[in-house]
Amino acid sequence: MVTAESGQRTIGQYVAARTNSRAVDIDRFTPTTKWLRDYPMFEAAFGAEMTQAHLDHLRKLDSDFETHTNLVRDQQIFVDAAAGCSFAGFEQACEA
């Protein structure tokens, strides 16, 4: 693995050693990055229509196969809700 060969123990340390970032910030975001692999629309909307709080809320909802399948299918609905609602409204839309 590249991190071990370069003397770093985590991906965050590896990236931080090569950029102007803090390892703790990168390591904190790594689980979200892995989760986003199944959600290309969420990934594209991150930073524009969707914030970290939106993604964290959706990750909490993604608790079983059926919910995961529905989230994959309905990504655009959640992106539109994030863009058009307050965060409280987004949370309510997710519960519906």
Measured in degrees and rounded to the nearest 5, phi and psi for residue 78 equal: -70, -35
Q: What is the pTM of this model?
A: 0.73
CA–CA gap between residue 91 and residue 9 (Å, rounded): 36
CA–CA gap between residue 29 and residue 34 (Å, rounded): 9
Strand partners, 46: 50
Burial 62-74 (b: 16+ CB within 10 A, else e): eeeeeeeeebeee
Q: Encode pLDDT of 50-86 as tens digits.
A: 999 999 999 999 999 999 999 999 999 999 999 999 9
Tokens of 76: 């655009």
Domain residue ranges in the chain = 1-31, 38-96
